[in-house]
Structure 1
Amino acid sequence: MNDAELQRRCHTIFPGHRARPPAELFAAMAAWCEANGVEHDVYGTGALLQAFEAKVARLLGMEAAVFCISGTMAQVTALRLASMDRGRDLVALHPTSHIFVHERSNYQLLGHFNALQAGDRYRPWTVSDLAAIPDRLGAVGMELPLREIGGQLSPWEELQAIKGHVRERGAHLHMDGARLWEAAAGYGKPLHEVAAGFDSVYVSLYKGIGGLGGAMLAGTRELVDRAAEWFRREGGNVIHRSPYVVAATMQFDGRLAAMPAYFERTQFLYEALASHPVIRVNPAAPQANMLHLHIPVPPERALAIRRELAEEHGIWMFNRIASAALPGTSSFELYVGDNLLDAPDDEVREALALFAAALAR
């Protein structure tokens, strides 16, 4: 039995939202389209798409937003344009930036801009991290929250200081907001307050929202229009965006409304984990509905434990796992979504106890 089949048989699933099979998801999309009279857009022109772009822009307090087929394309394009405008091709990024870690040197190989690592890879930025850079920066790219270190956020006051510092330097401040929806719940602030002071914001339509894929880039009307033209040049001008927009739009309001509950559930999980010191948690306290769990076994053993718990107890603990810094250890990301929100407290505690016991054997 493969992992997908095994996971479907489990009754207690820790990571993320329930994965709907394609037939079920497409049927739900078709019903929503019929109920709402949806027509395909054509190369980015269509009532549903443009209404959704305007809605995202309003939520973020921005003039405009445009759909992009991927966040990878949206981010480097925004930073490229910002650098071009200022005649400075140097962009400051956190060492764990998605651009460094997951985008295969696209900013460099495709000639978008030059990038500088700033700050400590194990903690969020402080304003002093940026103040220590003597170079004339064209742009600063800031991720909220920082996924690679467990969903950490810069403290609110520090975030405001960073916004002011970048503005004083005359640089463009861009937000990697792939998980901005989650960051707003962690801060306990509305989306437009978090986004205020940023010149551009990218948000994902599939990570927390649960859509098929796609992203939005928001900013001034001028920036958005120019970015849309660059998306065409870069191969992002798909004829129909409608499948991605429908999959996101039909559950968008519900997912946003649930973000505070996901965060509260993460706090419950964190408290439950305190009973199992064999499992180490990063960050020290939840800052968004995400945690990284560090365990004292290598990935191969962790995968064997996952299968054992799934087959014998109907528990699915994690999806992907990676080796950690210390020999013989590993870590995994746990995004708290509908699965844990719907799981009874006692079942969660029992699953953690079984997992911890298997790790200790």
Structure 2
Amino acid sequence: MISTAAKMPEPDAVVSFLYDAPEVSATEFAAELLATTTETETGIDSYSIGGAVEEFETAFARLIGKEKAVFMPTGTLANHLAVRMLMRGKSRVLLQERGHLYNDSGDCLQKLSGINAVALGRGKATFGLDEVKAAFENAEAARVEASIGAIAIETPVRRMHGELFDQGEMEAICDFARGRGVGLHLDGARLFIASAYSGIPVDSYASAFDTVYISLYKYFNAPSGAVLAGPARLMDGLYHERRMFGGGLNQAWIFAATALRSLTSFQERFAQAVAVSEVFKQILAGIPGLAVSNIPGGTNVFKLIPRNDIDPSSMHDTMSKLGVKLPPPESGTFYLKVNESILSTPPAELAGRFAEAVRAKG
């Protein structure tokens, strides 16, 4: 695990561009957990209530400007319960066609809560206010009442390689929804990453929505877990529904304590990683045989395109031997994710490993 003291890891550490967070072994996590419990008194929870879980919930709610936060075992459950709470007996929720709720949750809204998911913005990170208004008009014109109770927005969007939801459209949609008394949920699994690139504070993002979900394992060093935050009138007693859906984990302190330890300094550490990555990308772009391209409106994902005579699969294997993990190429292009592991190696040295792979033509 990367230390919360924000010091740089050892120079010979592996740099991984696979995920939003550095990869860690079981041994590394065990060491982090030992450090966590040694440095501070860690209270044991009972079925995700009290102890370190409550301590984390309180700190997190304060950080993002919400009255209360509740630990969740998964983002799937966090998103589901948020929308379920906001519906107030209505039947439809508007959400992204490329988002988590529509693609990665097994149609839980429909199957488990009788909520009809209406997907907007097909093939895009952003859906517009015009699409939202059209959905309301369609619902209101139905022969049988089919009212819209909530709107859910994900940003950045994983299935669009970390592209941000357009901020102007987001603000317009939120204003429209509030004017109609429609609930607003933010799927902010990677919201702290969004903030690092957009410059918008996480509490400013969260303030526009009734509820917000954030992942604990994508960057806060926890092996799993999520957190859902919102007004006390919605969060109070939510542990009952959490348990009803099978999410009342006993002794969830392991997730909460490690996340809390990382939470206090993550933004500082990740800002450093972003700055180092920009230097690295500039050097990388100067290597003959490689092209570097940012995702328009993107965040921590960028494209690396090798020259035609360089075999991407061979390059993938060569880089692994050089201590750099790349994702599998997609149609000849690598989509690299910046995370804190980039701090382990000076940018010029890291780019030199790519240059070596180019000389070997993969």
Shorter-chain TM-score above 0.5: yes
Please give the per-residue CA displacement for 1:104-147, whole angstroms capped at 9, x wherever unaligned. 33333334511111114234233333233223421111111112
Question: In the alignment, what sits opposite 2:5?
Answer: none
Question: In the alignment, what sits opposite 2:243?
Answer: 232
Per the TM alignment, residue 263 of structure 1 is displaced from its structure 2 partner at its CA by 2.9
Whether contact under 8 Å (1:93, 1:117) holds in the other structure is yes
Distance change (3 Å), C-alpha of 1:35 and 1:258: closer
1:40 to 38, 41, 44: 44
AA partner of residue 283 (structure 1) = I
Question: In the alignment, what sits opposite 2:255?
Answer: 244
| Higher deviation after alignment, 334-343 or 136-145 | 334-343
Whether contact under 8 Å (2:78, 2:228) holds in the other structure is yes
Structure 1 unaligned segments of length 5 or more: list them. Answer: 1-9, 324-328
Report matched runs for 1:160-309 at 5 Å.
160-272=171-283, 274-275=285-286, 279=291, 281-284=293-296, 287-293=298-304, 302-309=312-319
Whether contact under 8 Å (1:173, 1:199) holds in the other structure is yes
Please give the per-residue CA displacement for 1:181-207, whole angstroms capped at 9, x wherever unaligned. 111112212221111110100011110
| Higher deviation after alignment, 348-357 or 116-125 | 348-357
Per the TM alignment, residue 148 of structure 1 is displaced from its structure 2 partner at its CA by 1.6
Under a length normalisation based on structure 2, what TM-score does the superposition of the two structures give? 0.83
Q: SS of 2:69's equivalent?
A: strand
Whether contact under 8 Å (1:292, 1:334) holds in the other structure is yes
- The answer to whether residue 89 in structure 2 is matched with residue 77 in structure 1 is no
Distance change (3 Å), C-alpha of 1:243 and 1:261: same
Whether contact under 8 Å (2:96, 2:125) holds in the other structure is no
Question: In the alignment, what sits opposite 1:128?
Answer: 130
Per the TM alignment, residue 269 of structure 1 is displaced from its structure 2 partner at its CA by 4.4
AA partner of residue 43 (structure 1) = Y
Q: SS of 1:110's equivalent?
A: helix
| Higher deviation after alignment, 335-344 or 61-70 | 335-344
Question: In the alignment, what sits opposite 2:33?
Answer: 29
Whether contact under 8 Å (1:266, 1:290) holds in the other structure is no
| Higher deviation after alignment, 226-235 or 104-113 | 104-113
AA partner of residue 309 (structure 1) = M
Question: In the alignment, what sits opposite 1:153?
Answer: 164
CA–CA separation in structure 2 for the residues paired with 1:13 and 1:80: 40
Question: In the alignment, what sits opposite 1:6?
Answer: none
Alignment root-mean-square deviation, CA:
2.8
CA–CA separation in structure 1 for the residues paired with 2:359 and 2:108: 43
Per the TM alignment, residue 64 of structure 1 is displaced from its structure 2 partner at its CA by 0.4
CA–CA separation in structure 1 for the residues paired with 2:306 and 2:93: 35
Instruction: Report sequence identity in percent.
Output: 26
Q: SS of 2:276's equivalent?
A: helix
CA–CA separation in structure 1 for the residues paired with 2:289 and 2:160: 19
Please give the per-residue CA displacement for 1:315-355, whole angstroms capped at 9, x wherever unaligned. 42424x375xxxxx155543211211332121232234345
Distance change (3 Å), C-alpha of 1:111 and 1:316: same
2:64 to 37, 49, 60: 60
Question: In the alignment, what sits opposite 2:339?
Answer: 337
Distance change (3 Å), C-alpha of 1:80 and 1:26: same
Per the TM alignment, residue 88 of structure 1 is displaced from its structure 2 partner at its CA by 1.8
- The answer to whether residue 326 in structure 2 is matched with residue 318 in structure 1 is yes
Under a length normalisation based on structure 1, what TM-score does the superposition of the two structures give? 0.83
Whether contact under 8 Å (1:62, 1:218) holds in the other structure is yes
Please give the per-residue CA displacement for 1:134-163, whole angstroms capped at 9, x wherever unaligned. 234211111111122122223433332222
Whether contact under 8 Å (1:177, 1:202) holds in the other structure is yes
CA–CA separation in structure 2 for the residues paired with 1:295 and 1:132: 43
Equivalent pairs counted in the alignment come to 338
CA–CA separation in structure 2 for the residues paired with 1:61 and 1:163: 17
CA–CA separation in structure 2 for the residues paired with 1:281 and 1:343: 22
CA–CA separation in structure 1 for the residues paired with 2:360 and 2:178: 51
AA partner of residue 305 (structure 1) = M
Question: In the alignment, what sits opposite 1:347?
Answer: 349
Q: SS of 2:185's equivalent?
A: strand
Whether contact under 8 Å (1:77, 1:112) holds in the other structure is no
CA–CA separation in structure 2 for the residues paired with 1:13 and 1:129: 41
